Chain A
């Protein structure tokens, strides 16, 4: 799920950036530092959408670096148990397959793949129905449901299922999507 929230961060800026475009430097550094990171609490920071306010800088003893407390708005993505996501299959093996929904990695183990799909090894390992009409392989798009998340301080990993109504391959050439 996406959220638009306000976060705060203390930015350290090298003295060489002090000048007319100090603020721009600060913002671009913030983007570089923060976008794409993940915190267990808020999820993945997708994009910074605005700066709320930049506090007074504090000069560090000895180094000359200045610390600015920066409040910024950003879009975060946080997967939840029970959430339905659309994801791209990144890897298939006999244990199941991995898929990515943006920054989130999801593993679907083989017992959460419908029983009528069987693993086929080979160059392009895949799960295929017995009549061959549905195939899950690398780069397939699937709709899956998250059944568990592991949230660490810096990463979120999910496990999902496609064994439910309306879940499974959505980029099937046979279907219009």
Chain B
């Protein structure tokens, strides 16, 4: 049913439809509305779930780890410092091969403290073995939560997933969303069948000492599984369309990319602004396009190569940077094109950190910059006069 809802509420309503048995989270801006809503649903008896209050994000992640280990579907949500505090546990959740979904309200990382949006928090945990999806709008957040459970719980995969939504822009933005019917969700997401679980009748050990004789194999298995997830994501997205009647592209959305001479690659809500600029510039006769990256981990390198190989000039627009190097998506994309013949010219741009507005004008300037020399990590809209040498 179509409703006008806040992003956080959209997530809470969708999570309710997923019937998690355990929810644990710690409040943090701008994620709080999500778990506030879920707590209310549990208190009102609208959601049959254990809502476990914890004293930190480290504990929240540990509680959901335990819940999934016991064979129960679980959910958590966090943001920024909270995600970083969860990081140690997230590596364990992935290593123990426990599927669960965490929604991250993307927010900048301290210091200085900043509660506004960028992607530094989630890209920082990209190496953990957790699937990562980025949403452009609230409908996509809801759809990706469903997809994330479905892919993560696939017995071939059995991995956690992080669904990323831009803090404030999406969490606090109201949009019309189509919340699916319970029976549709039940069909897409049948009861959780854990590959292994803690069971006194049939004891198991999880995450016990991996000596040098076996540790490397566990990491190899994680890497191989991540790559296998690319196929599972593809089939799950087809199944999604069959059941819910709307498309959810598996890896990326191509927007006016076919004949584009210049294209921007970006993740998250900024894609909406870019689409507007693309429309305007197309009207002026400029062949520009957008590739909105949805699946960041696993990185769909081959799919991106195919989508972008004929675009001569590409800008990777990122709300994050690996300090002292480049933007993380820029690095991955460059690696995907490394050694290929007639590879596009790929430039990296850092934009919108800590809630700095990304205007249509900024996007236009990025397209303009593409005409100039290749830049690896150019900060856009930065007031250099405020910084002393």
User: A and B bound?
Assistant: no
